Amino acid sequence: MKEHFDEKREVLKWIAIGTMTIDHTGAVLYPSILWLRLVGRLSFPLFSYLLVLGVDTTRNLRNYLLRLLLFAAISQPSFYLALGDDWLVPLNIFFTLSLGVLLLNSFKRANPLLALIPLLASFVLDIDYGIYGVATIGCTYLLTKAAKLGVLSLVALNLIFIFTETPSQFLSLLALPMILSHRSDIYVKEGNNTTVYPLWRKLFFYVYYPLHLTALFLVKMAM
């Protein structure tokens, strides 16, 4: 039996969570403090990259997708309470990542027609980051296969959407050095001494999303 622990990927997860929390703190509690939202632009490309790595290394893609969809449903009430000002609040980021998994699966199967399903869904459905988000995941996948082409595609994508997305989203490109410098540090132990990756650690990154949104909502109500 072998267990793989990528320490540098773990660091990227914490940076993604930290910048996301800063972003949401600005959106919910301090909307007039611009730098909080600017820091938050780093989070989505990091989550996109982590999703690509997750799809690449998961033992069961179906379970991986179902887990994302489960937490998408769990998180939507918290997302609405914290960030919604009407019933038209978009579907939360887990829905975007779920469509990203379908897109990545189409790449793995080398089926461009299959890729149209998540792209069209992201255009029709009101999801966080919209089609820009799903396209970012696709460009990030390309980056892992051909770095220069992937970087160019991400720059082009952000230039295309600079007038339709929040202009500051272009700052998401500042996450590229972290992504490009990532190299897996794999620690492998065999036999009875295998270090098992704790279940709580896997689930924490899912559970944290609705929990921190709920906490921000409660703080907002108390202010």
Q: Which has more pLDDT, 150 or 200? A: 150
- pLDDT, mean over the chain: 88
Dump pLDDT digits (tens) for 119-135. 999 999 999 999 999 99
Contacts for 159 with CB less than 8 Å, ≥ 6 apart: 170
pLDDT digits (tens, 9 = 90+) for 155-164: 999 998 887 7
Residue for token pair 């969570």: 17
Kindly tell me if the per-residue pLDDT of 115 is higher than 80. Answer: yes
How far apart are alpha carbons 181 and 156 in whole angstroms?
A: 21
Q: Would the pLDDT of 186 be above 60?
A: no
Contact assessment for residue 85 and residue 63, using Cβ atoms and an 8 Å cutoff: no
Phi, psi of 209 (to 5 degrees): -60, -60
Q: Is the pLDDT of residue 146 over 70?
A: yes
User: Which pLDDT value is given to residue 88?
Assistant: 65
- The answer to whether the CB of 6 falls within 8 A of the CB of 202 is no
The residue ranking higher by pLDDT, 66 or 110, is 66
Give the burial class of 190: count Cβ atoms within 10 A of its Cβ; 0-12 exposed, 13-18 middle, 19 or more buried: exposed
pLDDT-above-90 percentage for the chain: 72
What is the per-residue pLDDT for 24?
97
Q: Which amino acid belongs to residue 73?
A: A
